[in-house]
Structure 1
């Protein structure tokens, strides 16, 4: 997200195999893992 203000870095635990698979898929789609996680969290909170 160019020209966006920096957001705080957050941390969480995730199994290595899940992280590696998600990172590989994101990269194959030309996306960052941060963008994928952000989108998933938006979907999660909007699903209520």
Structure 2
């Protein structure tokens, strides 16, 4: 019999990443993102894409 996996099942297609963000910045970003109908992950992805589009 196969061993049963423990924990929460994966919910997304992309792996989780870890970054350090000061609490005050994170909380402000969460509020602003929610006001815009987004989450912080959406905002971070948008920012990284804009960063990558910038010319050298």
Same fold (TM over 0.5): yes
Higher RCO structure, 1 or 2 (CA under 8 Å, sep 6+): 1
Which has the larger Rg? 2
Q: Which has the higher helix share?
A: 1
| Count of aligned pairs | 44
Residue ranges of structure 2 left out of the alignment (5+ in a row): 1-11
TM-score (norm 2): 0.73
Structure 1's consecutive aligned runs of 4 or more residues displaced over 6 angstroms after TM superposition are: none
- TM-score normalized with structure 1 length: 0.84
